[in-house]
Amino acid sequence: MHSITEVLKVLAQTVSSEVPEDVLVCASRLERHYLSARYPDTGLAEYNRWDAEEALECLRKVVA
């Protein structure tokens, strides 16, 4: 399973909890970074500082 969002949903079901919506949104955004790194042909446009900062902020939310 390569979907962070799906992993979080399965984990939430396992512990009978819910994943906050903002965490799911961040997980989805992080998947874009993963896919472009793993599959370069996905066509990610230029990667800038804002993208990196957003990814770090989302990473913090997901692992918190």
Domain limits for position 20: 4-63
pTM over 0.75: no
Residue 42 corresponds to which tokens in the numbers above?
A: 């996905």
Are the C-beta atoms of residues 55 and 43 closer than 8 Å to each other? no
Question: What does the alpha-carbon distance between residue 17 and residue 26 come to, in Å, rounded to a whole number?
Answer: 18
| 14-24: average pLDDT | 90
In the 8-state DSSP scheme, what is residue 16?
A: T
Give residue 40's identity as a one-letter amino acid code.
Answer: P
| Total number of domains in the chain | 1
Reported as a pLDDT band with limits 50, 70 and 90, residue 45 is low
Reported as a pLDDT band with limits 50, 70 and 90, residue 43 is low
36, with CB counted inside 10 A (0-12, 13-18, 19+), is middle
